[in-house]
Chain A
Amino acid sequence: MRKGLIAGVVLIALVAVLIWFMRPDDVQTGEAPPPLSAAPQNVIEHGRALVNLADCQPCHTARGGAPFAGGRAIPTPFGVFYSPNITPDPDTGIGAWSAEDFWRALHNGYSRDGRPLYPTFPYTNYTKISRRDALAMFEYLKTVPAVRQPRREHELRFPYDQRMLLVAWRRLFFRPGVYQPDPHQSPEWNRGAYLVQGVAHCSACHEARNALGAIQSSTNPAGGLVLNWYAPALTSSREAGLQHWSEADIVSLLQTGRIGMSAPDEPHAATLGPMAEVVYESLQHADPNELRAMATYLKSLPDVEFSAEPRRMRISSAGLAGTMKRGAKLYADHCARCHGDNGEGKAPAGPPLAGNRAVTMSSAVNPIRIVLYGGYPPGTAGNPRPFGMPPFSPTLTDGEIAAVITYIRRSWNNNAQPVSSTEVARNRTGPLW
């Protein structure tokens, strides 16, 4: 095991040396495509709006802790990261940093002392932010109350705890460069692309990462596993793709965290888990024009027809029939009162499950987590009293949960793969988010 790892590390180092020579230059210049509403004149207000869209605060704030003072745990396959203090405290925060230090962190992923930073801090997206915008963010951060709170060390597994490996990682996977507008596209589109790819870093969650934690490629249609959830692909209308939605519906989802059931032709979606946090902490406070620009860009993404690697379970048709029968009974007893006898939903209290891509997408992780832990969509200004889904982990066994999910994934013309009780059991542990 250890030998394999070391061999792997050596290999990465070799490849890195090769790639070193083929590396394109960093692009440090370029202006951000202008926002559709006039940007605030005041540089601090300008920075505040960007910091909000970039979601810096929730990731750099522990539950109940001082804003931006760090200490939040971020679980990953490599171990647990703890965000550092980025308040203007000179000793434990970034109070002693110069604007240039901050730029190097956001754009190049280096700490002030020159150490390479882990890409859990999504500088791989933030690198697209223009220098002018980055410095406005720094000006705003200098105005938040300084808090003395030393950083907590990450708890990472070997070899990921070896920070110097990041030198190789960066050579392989990181291309710094400010966003360069596409002259063939509209200003809205360019603004949207700048926000989605850079500031709001949607791809940091929504694209698959390889075994080394790098986003595989910009055209990779697979979604990504993050924070124990599956972030569905924005490049597939079978997952989270918004290609066929109206711009108004997209803005409404991003702003309120939920859409559907108020008009018959409306698409349905509810945000839960990490996406509920993105809406609650960041998107709901954004200027609607910024969301509109994002919608323009999101609609233009290619709609890739993909079936992620077939996750077929070996299960006999008799076994499946038995599971479906048990699932049907469980559904009638526990779910139908909110989701309808035939998965048609009960407006406004329960969304339809028939034809709902949150149920039918190839990965079963989210339906499993939703049935285990329930949850409310975020309580936003546009949806201040959301209905909630009850948690079933206290009352149903893994086998029962697998059966009822298999049932909803394969009834009413839903046509997704069955779910096993081992898969349910895997999701019983770990942080909830």
Chain B
Amino acid sequence: MRLNPKRSHARRCAVVFLAAWTVAAAQSPSPPLDSIDQRVQPCMVCHGKEGRATSDGYYPRIAGKPAGYLFNQLINFRNGHRHFPMMTYLVERQSDAYLQEMADYFARQDLPYPPPQALSVPPAVLARGEQLVMEGDASQRIPACRSCHGARLVGVAPAVPSLLGLPRDYLMAQIGAWKNGTRRAAAPDCMAEVAKDLSPADVNAVASWLATQPVPENAKADAEFAEPPPRQCGSIPDHTSTSAP
């Protein structure tokens, strides 16, 4: 691309001035134009301002999730391991380096969470959900969700995501997608194994309980596992020799 340095500097000054002026005029501040903030503007339509989706819709929150996890998901959309056509369309012709930059950007965001969803769910269902999340169910071969997602359920860096602050519909859809094979993670896909062993009633129970939990004050993912995860997960680095496809 041909650049005229003098001209473009003058233009940039004009642009900065213009940006400053529109910031003052608009109700919400606009990011500087030549920035990663500006480059991820298209994402905000669905993932909320700065990727902080509210918990009542379907769109998942991405702000503050571990960077490795977010990057893996962008790759999964690009190569067809996850399906949501508009998501795929936005990332399918971008380089790994650029997707990593986007993932890092959203991982850096440290924003307050919305209050949990208010759902009317029978107490017995919530109790079953809590049991599965905190202890698992050995009779059904279901490990405790917290054994991988962290004691506080806020995820473990760099590749295991938080389970809190997500809408129930989204949680159910994700577990359902693993059950029917439309969502896949790097092999061995431990989440697929966990999902296959959950009955539809149990999926509803865990999703309902998780969606109604408040997010703790410090929601940054744990730096490491308290104990090694109960199964092999291809997406967790150093935990297995199998690398992402």
Most B CB contacts (10 A, CB to CB) among A248, A338, A374, A389 go to A374
| B85 interface contact, C-beta 8 A | yes
Q: Given A64-B81, A252-B1, A385-B101, A432 and B33 touching (CB < 8 A)? A: no
CA distance A385 to B102 in the complex (A): 10
List A contacts of B15 (CB < 8 A). Answer: 346-347
Q: In the complex the two chains form, is B33's CB within 8 Å of A349's CB?
A: yes
**Binary interface encoding of chain A residues 313-341 relative to chain B, with 1 for a CB under 8 A from any of its CBs, else 0:** 00000000000000000000000011000
Q: In the complex the two chains form, is B26's CB within 8 Å of A337's CB?
A: yes
Q: In the complex the two chains form, is B90's CB within 8 Å of A263's CB?
A: no
**Binary interface encoding of chain B residues 30-55 relative to chain A, with 1 for a CB under 8 A from any of its CBs, else 0:** 10011010110110111000000000
Q: Tell me the total A-B contact number using a CB cutoff of 8 A.
A: 104
List B contacts of A347 (CB < 8 A). Answer: 8, 11, 15, 33
List B contacts of A79 (CB < 8 A). Answer: none
Most A CB contacts (10 A, CB to CB) among B36, B81, B92 go to B92
Q: In the complex the two chains form, is B39's CB within 8 Å of A388's CB?
A: yes
List A contacts of B80 (CB < 8 A). Answer: 62-65
CA distance A201 to B79 in the complex (A): 26
List B contacts of A394 (CB < 8 A). Answer: 45-46
Q: Pick the residue among B4, B8, B45, B94 that contacts A376 (CB under 8 A).
A: B94
CA distance A128 to B154 in the complex (A): 60
CB-CB nearest in chain B for A279: B93
Q: Pick the residue among A259, A379, A390 that contacts B98 (CB under 8 A).
A: A379
Q: In the complex the two chains form, is A432's CB within 8 Å of B93's CB?
A: no
CA distance A432 to B30 in the complex (A): 29
| B124 interface contact, C-beta 8 A | no
List A contacts of B138 (CB < 8 A). Answer: none
Q: Pick the residue among A63, A248, A264, A388 that contacts B90 (CB under 8 A).
A: A388
CB-CB nearest in chain B for A246: B2
Q: In the complex the two chains form, is A348's CB within 8 Å of B33's CB?
A: yes
List A contacts of B94 (CB < 8 A). Answer: 376, 378-379, 386
List B contacts of A337 (CB < 8 A). Answer: 22, 26, 30
| A387 interface contact, C-beta 8 A | yes
| B3 interface contact, C-beta 8 A | yes
Q: Pick the residue among B2, B18, B41, B46 that contacts A388 (CB under 8 A).
A: B41
CB-CB nearest in chain A for B4: A263
CA distance A280 to B4 in the complex (A): 26
B121-159 residues with Cβ-Cβ distance < 8 A to A are none
| Cβ of A300 to closest chain B Cβ, rounded Å | 23
| B119 interface contact, C-beta 8 A | no
| B95 interface contact, C-beta 8 A | yes
Q: In the complex the two chains form, is A391's CB within 8 Å of B93's CB?
A: no
| Cβ of B94 to closest chain A Cβ, rounded Å | 4
Q: How large is the interface on A (under 10, 10 to 19, 20 to 34, 35 or more residues)?
A: 35 or more
Q: In the complex the two chains form, is B89's CB within 8 Å of A375's CB?
A: yes
List B contacts of A236 (CB < 8 A). Answer: none
Q: Pick the residue among A349, A432, A433 that contacts B38 (CB under 8 A).
A: A349
Q: In the complex the two chains form, is B93's CB within 8 Å of A376's CB?
A: yes
List B contacts of A277 (CB < 8 A). Answer: 93
| Cβ of B119 to closest chain A Cβ, rounded Å | 23
List B contacts of A348 (CB < 8 A). Answer: 33-34
CA distance A256 to B1 in the complex (A): 8
Q: In the complex the two chains form, is A379's CB within 8 Å of B45's CB?
A: no
List A contacts of B81 (CB < 8 A). Answer: 64
Most A CB contacts (10 A, CB to CB) among B4, B42, B79, B80 go to B42
Q: How large is the interface on B (under 10, 10 to 19, 20 to 34, 35 or more residues)?
A: 35 or more
| A358 interface contact, C-beta 8 A | no
Q: In the complex the two chains form, is A262's CB within 8 Å of B86's CB?
A: no
CB-CB nearest in chain A for B39: A387
Q: In the complex the two chains form, is A389's CB within 8 Å of B42's CB?
A: yes
List B contacts of A433 (CB < 8 A). Answer: 89
A374-407 residues with Cβ-Cβ distance < 8 A to B are 374-376, 378-379, 382-395
| B201 interface contact, C-beta 8 A | no
CA distance A277 to B200 in the complex (A): 40
List B contacts of A266 (CB < 8 A). Answer: 2
CA distance A280 to B44 in the complex (A): 25
Q: In the complex the two chains form, is A374's CB within 8 Å of B90's CB?
A: yes
| Cβ of A297 to closest chain B Cβ, rounded Å | 23
| A431 interface contact, C-beta 8 A | yes
List B contacts of A389 (CB < 8 A). Answer: 42
| A121 interface contact, C-beta 8 A | no
| A424 interface contact, C-beta 8 A | no
Q: In the complex the two chains form, is B86's CB within 8 Å of A280's CB?
A: no
| Cβ of B81 to closest chain A Cβ, rounded Å | 6
CB-CB nearest in chain A for B3: A262
| A169 interface contact, C-beta 8 A | no
Q: In the complex the two chains form, is B42's CB within 8 Å of A376's CB?
A: yes
Q: Please name 12 further chain A to chain B contacts, defined as beta carbons within 8 Å, in addition to the given A347-B11, A375-B90, A386-B94, sorted by A numbering.
A: A63-B79, A262-B2, A263-B2, A337-B22, A338-B41, A347-B8, A376-B90, A379-B98, A385-B98, A390-B41, A390-B42, A391-B46
- 22 residue pairs bridging A and B, Cβ less than 8 Å apart: A63-B79, A63-B80, A63-B92, A262-B1, A262-B3, A263-B4, A263-B7, A276-B93, A277-B93, A280-B93, A347-B8, A347-B15, A349-B34, A374-B90, A378-B94, A379-B98, A384-B98, A385-B98, A390-B44, A391-B45, A392-B45, A394-B46
Which A positions have Cβ atoms within 8 angstroms of B?
A: 62-65, 248, 252, 256, 259, 262-264, 266, 276-277, 280, 337-338, 346-349, 373-376, 378-379, 382-395, 431-433
Which B positions have Cβ atoms within 8 angstroms of A?
A: 1-4, 7-8, 11, 15, 18-19, 22, 26, 30, 33-34, 36, 38-39, 41-42, 44-46, 79-81, 85-86, 88-90, 92-95, 97-98, 101
The 4 A-B pairs of least Cβ separation, nearest first, read A64-B80, A64-B79, A63-B80, A379-B94
